Chains A and B, each alone.
Chain A
Amino acid sequence: MLRLDADNPRLRMTVRYLVLTLIALMFVTPLVFMMMSSLKPDQQLLADTSSMRAFLPVGDISFDNYKAAFERAPIGLFMLNSLFVTGITVALGLFVCSMAGFSFVFLNWRGKSIAFSIILATLIVPFETIAIPMLLMVSKLPWLGLDGFSWGWLNSYRVQIVPFVADGLTIFLFAQYFKDLPKELIEAARVEGCSWWQVYWRVVMPLSGPILATAAILKFLAMYNQYLWPIMVTQQEQYRPVLVGLQYFFQLNTAWGEVMAYLTIITLPVLVFYLALQRAFIASIASTGVKG
């Protein structure tokens, strides 16, 4: 018989799994609801919301909502735009921010502390407060492209990428991580004759898998979820990302099944990206947790 005391390992395990299952359900149920709803006609979808049927593939199930969603909006174009903008920004961002973090931790230069403080201070400035000055700035910037010299970056990919390559949070994460790397390793590399670039590229970066994964996931989410900025700077459909595309589905009589189908489609890259990097991500979070 199961003893009801705290020393009973089986009971503790049961309670632990129960709590973890409940927490997991809290996160999984919205996704299940979204996916199941994407397979149902609107009338059934709305009727099912008041029962457990909302989480089950029951009733009139089909992929009609997906077909209709592709007819309503150029989903492929929006996905490509988002993945391109996000991919390039994450790749460039990891490179630039890791170099900045490296510089703050390992190099000695005048004004380093003040510069780092200023970068940290940007963490408390909401994007909305600088959106308009940024808009005015990018609308007047010069550009030399394949078709010659031009003014203004509106309606382009670069206007969605360049302003977000470097950010305070990613630089801070890299700097914090680099601080905990063994100093002896860096000194040994220098004594062996490595240049600072070689230390960065051949010694530090190979040891930075967890923080690269963490920063990549955080930056991926921030970029993939961009909404306000693209609305302000892309007036042409050919440059719009997925979240602006979501607005195509909210009409006077909203087709909720299509909304759910679209959300399911645009959620997939996020899930795939997270699943691919989750081991390193968890390792990074865990190592952060045991510090100090």
Chain B
Amino acid sequence: MKITKKLTFGILSAAALGVCASSAYAKTDLSLWYHGAGNGVEAKIINQIVSDFNNSQDDWNVSLESFPQGSYNDSVTAAALANNLPDILDVDGPVMPNWAWAGYLQPLMLDEAMLTDFLPGVKGYWDGQLYSVGLWDAAVAMVTRRSTLDDIGARVPTLEAPWSAQEFNDILAKLKATGKYDYPLDLGMAWKGEWFPYAFSPFLQSFGGDLVDRSTYATAEGKLNGDAAIAFGEWWQGLFSQGYAPGNSQDPADRDTGLLEGKYAMQWNGNWAALNTLNKFGDDTLFLPAPDFGNGSTIGAASWQFGVSAASKHPQGASAFIEFALQDKYLAAFSDGIGVIPAKYSAAALTENYKEGGAMAVFYELSKAQALVRPVTPGYIVEAKVFEKALADIADGADVADTLDSAVDEIDSDIQKNRRYGH
């Protein structure tokens, strides 16, 4: 009898311990989609974050699925249609409003106070709510050599005093007159797609135009085909007709190596390509702000950011992961690993290139001072493609006013078809 009692007590105790143990380890699974497949450095960092997060608490277990960047957006769209979205996904900043509007995303459950010292471009707001936040930003600059400018007696512009339109055009003319270069300026016309609106719409904005009227987001009329936009278009066309920049048929190989080989005197390029130039030209390298065409010097902003899918049943856990990933050490790890600009200053201070006095610190300052996010509207993905085509056509010699009018018609038609995208 005694033995039976003891046995029963033992079995019950073991069962109770088993229940306790299993409940202690019963983590809720969260799925995470990330766009970095094929990039070993990026994979190592994101895997480390996931592993650290999973080990840091007992409530959630994140599993990562990486996608190649080139097909990532299509995969997400298809998954949304098939009701197969993960809990957490990353999204390109300018695309975020479209995904939020389409119902792919839900607002983050983050204390926004923790983002006060983040760069403006990494915070993804739509309809007054925070939908995404990035661990880094990207920036573009006019890349050249001090010796190149000295050669033609040009001053080195600063954030406070960028080149004026007249100054910039004179510099292009002088560089061309030297006869040393195939072209004075490489804009990166070999790169298609998002590069066009990201890199070139700041020029349009500096002229006083834009892709769409941001006060209403209901039309592009007057913004993309007004006097300022036409002035921009004529200047843009002149770059190619006067032989200042290679056009649409630029060889991608020249885009990669033209500046380094001396074919081009200046290059409009991003921070991701800066290390190659620094390695080649060392202290002679200059990263300069965009020219001011009358309405200030601006550059594009917003890169990849984390968001929570609308399908997630565990937004607290998903947001907890994102909050965990926003630690300085991870921001710095991404920066050191893939050259991106850390999302905040305290993280930049931990990095090799963006700390004060670092070789690429100027990009952090450019992002902080001049970044202007692309139009925050679901219609951006259409506006971007229309803008790209218009710029390519104008570069090929199309009539500026007619081309911009057609672009406005196309954008306005899309906005109307989609009932103003909820604006």
Contact = CB atoms under 8 A, between A and B. Distances in A.
Interface in A196-246: 228, 231-233, 235-237, 244-245
B234 to A, nearest CB: 32
Contact of B69 (A50, A231, A250): A250
Nearest to B68: A247
Given A43-B257, A46-B257, A252-B272, A235 B68 contact: no
Nearest to A49: B253
A148 B253 CA distance: 53
Nearest to B340: A252
Given A43-B257, A46-B256, A251 B82 contact: no
B112 interface: no
Interface stretch (B72-80, B121-129, B155-163, B165-173): B72-80
A136 B273 contact: no
Contacts of B78: 135, 231-233
A182 to B, nearest CB: 49
A250 B261 CA distance: 23
Interface residues of A, number: 31
B38 interface: yes
B136 to A, nearest CB: 12
B39 interface: yes
Contacts of B276: 253
A235 B38 contact: no
A208 B345 CA distance: 71
A253 B38 contact: no
B33 interface: yes
Given A132-B81, A231-B78, A232-B75, A244 B68 contact: yes
B411 to A, nearest CB: 24
B250 to A, nearest CB: 13
B256 A135 contact: no
B38 A249 contact: yes
Interface in B52-93: 65-71, 74-75, 78-79, 81-84
B37 interface: yes
A47 B40 CA distance: 26
Given A46-B256, A250-B69, A253-B272, A135 B38 contact: no
Contacts of A253: 256, 272-273, 276
A235 B273 contact: no
A251 B69 contact: yes
Given A46-B253, A236-B65, A248-B38, A231 B71 contact: yes
A156 interface: no
A49 B82 CA distance: 44
Interface string A40-70: 0011001101100000000000000000000
Interface pairs A-B: 3 shortest CB-CB = A248-B38, A247-B68, A232-B78
Given A47-B261, A247-B70, 5 more contacts: A50-B253, A231-B78, A232-B82, A235-B79, A251-B38
Interface of B: 33, 37-40, 65-71, 74-75, 78-79, 81-84, 251, 253, 256-257, 261, 270, 272-273, 276, 338
Interface of A: 42-43, 46-47, 49-50, 71-73, 132, 135-136, 139, 152, 154, 228, 231-233, 235-237, 244-245, 247-253
23 contacts: A43-B257, A46-B253, A46-B256, A49-B251, A49-B253, A71-B40, A72-B38, A73-B37, A73-B38, A139-B84, A154-B82, A231-B71, A231-B74, A235-B33, A237-B65, A237-B66, A244-B71, A245-B68, A247-B68, A248-B37, A248-B68, A250-B69, A251-B38
